[in-house]
Each structure stands twice: as structure tokens, then as C-alpha cells.
Amino acid sequence: MTLEVNFKKGVKMQNRRREFLKKALIGSGAVLATTTLANASEKSSAVQGSNGVVVGHSPKKEILYKKTAHWREYYSVAS
């Protein structure tokens, strides 16, 4: 009797593992497919020859740094 009960428990455990692996593989396949499609659409929408740089017009003035005492000290030491 005990061997038969243990055998049935072992079979149930194997079936649970198989079902888990099936679900995990299906899920990872879906994620892979979604990622691949997203990357493909991103690459196709990029402008050729732009090297990923977005070219456009912005009303804001670009300020790289403000002249402060700290910057003057940094540049005097760096050069």
C-alpha cells in the first residue's frame, strides 16, 4: 500500500513540474516575442544616418554650465 501511495504522489509531483515548465516556457516565449517586435519597430522608425540623434527645434536655450567660482577653480586645475 505505501509503495502505491508514494508512487501516486511521485506521479502527481512530476505532473505539477511538467505543467509548471509548460507554463513557464509559454510565458517566456511570449515575453521574447514581444521584446523582439518592440526592438524591430524601434529600429525601423529610426531615421537613417542620424546615429540616434534627434534633430529638431527647441525654444529653450541650451546652457551647458554657468560661470561660477567652482567652475573657474575646476578649469584652472584641469588645464
How far, in Å, are 45, 65, 74 from residue 71 at the CA level?
40, 8, 5
Domain interval for residue 7: 1-45
Is residue 19 within 8 Å of 13, Cβ to Cβ? no
pTM of the entire structure? 0.38
Give the number of domains in the chain.
1
Is residue 65 within 8 Å of 71, Cβ to Cβ? yes
Domain contains 6: yes
How high is the pLDDT of residue 2?
58
How high is the pLDDT of residue 69?
92
Domain contains 52: no
Q: Please write the tens of the pLDDT for every residue from 2-52.
A: 556 666 667 777 888 889 888 888 888 888 888 888 777 665 554 555 666
Domain contains 37: yes
